[in-house]
Structure 1
């Protein structure tokens, strides 16, 4: 008996975000047609190299950057960008930034940093109890030890836990974590990742984790969405994507991990430029499959250079946007 997956908590549908160029320069299509769903209690990793559009996509999902086209829905309702509605939305969806040192005001104590969200949203309950509870859930125990400390008195891992506590204090349903462990020592990274998993298990918290690190995605995510030049090019369950990647871009990203087998794939050509999206597959100028002649042998080289690929659906099934993969799949049937 098959069970119907729960309805998405947060969903992007045909989402586009474009920024006009300065002094007549071409428009930058930072997000150029994205469907993405995040279900209740699910952790989705959005991965890709710098400049691929993943942070802009995350900011648009948070309501910080209004989309040029498409829409964002939360709990089945379209996101309302009016001031009061957006404020209520941001209580339910919280952001965790990658640099805790930059996120925390050095003149505020830990107590004030965590209580700030409560004060912005007019919390009428016991503020001290809420702050202490959030710190405890973030792993800072006993919380009384940390309430009057300043950020410079804490370690990097403790500062990140304070940032997470500041998000948790509002009891959100989903957090968006942008490179949550990128600035931390390797010894602390595992602790923060374990904390995020614990919060998911204990609170039913959903999360979108934005990262360039596929190793992080392997350790924390239920699903992975691989983004390149404004679009998701491969998506599916973490085990499927990271153990048997199909898109050449995903294969290249995985090949440079220390534990990867074989030689690393060194991508040629220029890195992504959202103001110069090429025709056809947007990865073709750097694609190792096209460069090696494999796409030519499969009869899709011209399509790679000239034929656009469809936007992948936002659901959980495994999908890949690649002419060569489509040809190889058809041949195997």
Structure 2
């Protein structure tokens, strides 16, 4: 593998956004135990840094992203932005969401089919009572998103655009408020392969030109390799491996990360087939939460290393949001 972006951001000193001890628990249905969708997460995102949050569907990454956006209040823990704790009052959240914007996975579902491109991008300005020249701000955002000349798109409707153009309109709608950070949830999952690279290149150029930070939520480690400075691998509500993208993806330590990487065509590895589905977040197993699906444990390798019993019974520490590679795995440290 070779990286397709500029060198990683320098080590974090004062994170732009930080989550500490974050938990999000949903009530159980019909007397079932509560579901711990996010179960003790520490994560930092620095200014001008792109962090990829990676994991299977159902691992909690979208719930974590929503908690960082203030859309889901955490059950425990704290989110801070620019050193200030996030307050969950409506006025405070409105101001926060001007600085932290969401880019959704499906541009077709994100855009109102009855609204023109101009109105879609101007919506945020109108919500926040933008005092400047609205037309100029919309044109600048569309241009930044790669839709040029912007005036040519003002009166067009979503159905008149390609998938890549619709995603650029969604990105322009986020950029128009001049945020400091965007949270992109599977930003290219619904796009053709030929367009995916263009959108990823756009996100990188926004980082380089505007100093924009981003949390990119994805199930695709290949995408993380091409766009991120750091990667956090999430499993069953908790980050199990985290660090600089080159370090984590060229020398993965956690068996789960290795399994996710093995299915990439360019990995050259025999694909690791994980058995079964991730456990129910209302019944998180003791010990390492991955042990029931772990190929290292199943093969007897953990037994030979003398850590099999710990894998099944001993809790692992929460990884903190620093820039060095870390792993929550009994076997990896042997």
TM-score, structure 1 length as denominator? Answer: 0.96
CA displacement at 1:293 relative to structure 2: 0.6
Of residues 47, 53, 61, the one that matches 2:60 is 53
Residue in structure 2 matched with residue 291 of structure 1 by the alignment: 298
Residues 1:107 and 2:114 aligned together: yes
Question: Which deviations, in whole Å up to 9, do the C-alpha atoms of 1:224-246 show, x marking residues without a partner?
Answer: 00000000000000001111101
CA–CA separation in structure 1 for the residues paired with 2:305 and 2:42: 29
1:116 aligned residue: 123
* 2:266 equivalent to 1:244: no
> How big is the shift at 1:258?
0.9
Q: Check whether the contact 1:51–1:273 (CA below 8 A) recurs between aligned residues.
A: no
* Secondary structure class of the residue paired with 1:324: coil
Tell me the equivalent position of 1:253: 260
**In 2, Cα distance between equivalents of 1:53 and 1:272:** 12
Cα distance in 2 for residues equivalent to 1:22 and 1:37? 33
- Tell me what 1:133 maps to: 140
Measured after TM superposition, the shift of residue 6 of structure 1 is 3.1
Name the SS of the counterpart of 2:44 in structure 1. Answer: strand
What CA deviation, in whole Å up to 9, does each residue of 1:24-61 have, x standing for no partner? 11211000000000000000000000000000000000
For residues 107-256 of structure 1, the aligned pairs below 5 Å read 107-256=114-263
Residue-pair matches, total:
325
> What is aligned with 1:331?
none
| Distance in structure 2 (CA, Å) of the matches to 1:66 and 1:5 | 26
Q: For residues 76 and 131 of structure 2, what CA distance do their matches in structure 1 show?
A: 38
- Please give the alpha-carbon distance, in whole angstroms, between the structure 2 residues aligned to 1:181 and 1:25: 36
Q: 1:54 to 1:44 in 2, by over 3 A?
A: same
Whether the aligned pair in 1 keeps the contact of 2:52 and 2:218 (CA below 8 Å) is yes
| Residue-by-residue CA offset, 1:75-121 (whole Å, 9 max, x unaligned) | 01100101101100000000000000000000000000000000000
CA distance in 2, matches of 1:221, 1:301: 33
SS at match of 1:23: coil
Confirm or deny that 1:320 pairs with 2:320: no
Partner of 2:284: 277
Once the 2 structures are TM-superposed, how far is the Cα of residue 261 of structure 1 from its aligned partner? 1.6
Out of 294-303 and 224-233, give the one that drifted further: 294-303
How far residue 270 of structure 1 moved from its aligned partner, in angstroms, is 3.0
Q: Is residue 6–residue 40 contact of structure 1 (8 Å, CA) maintained in 2?
A: no
Which of these residues, 71, 78, 98, is aligned with residue 71 of structure 1? 78
Q: Deviations over 1:188-230 (max 9, x none)?
A: 0000000000000000000000000000000000000000000
Q: Matches of 1:229 and 1:249 in 2, distance apart?
A: 11
Equivalent residue, structure 1, for 2:3? none
Task: Determine if contact 1:50/1:212 at 8 Å carries over to the other structure.
Answer: yes
SS in 1 for 2:266: coil
Deviation at 1:271, TM superposition (A): 2.3
Compute the RMSD of aligned alpha carbons: 0.9
Residue 285 (structure 2) pairs with residue 303 (structure 1):
no
C-alpha distance in 2, partners of 1:150/1:250? 41
Match of residue 97, structure 1, among 93, 101, 104: 104
Moved more, 308-317 or 270-279: 270-279
Change (3 A) 1:4 1:238: closer
2:69 is aligned with 1:62: yes
Q: Scaled by the length of structure 2, what TM-score is found?
A: 0.96
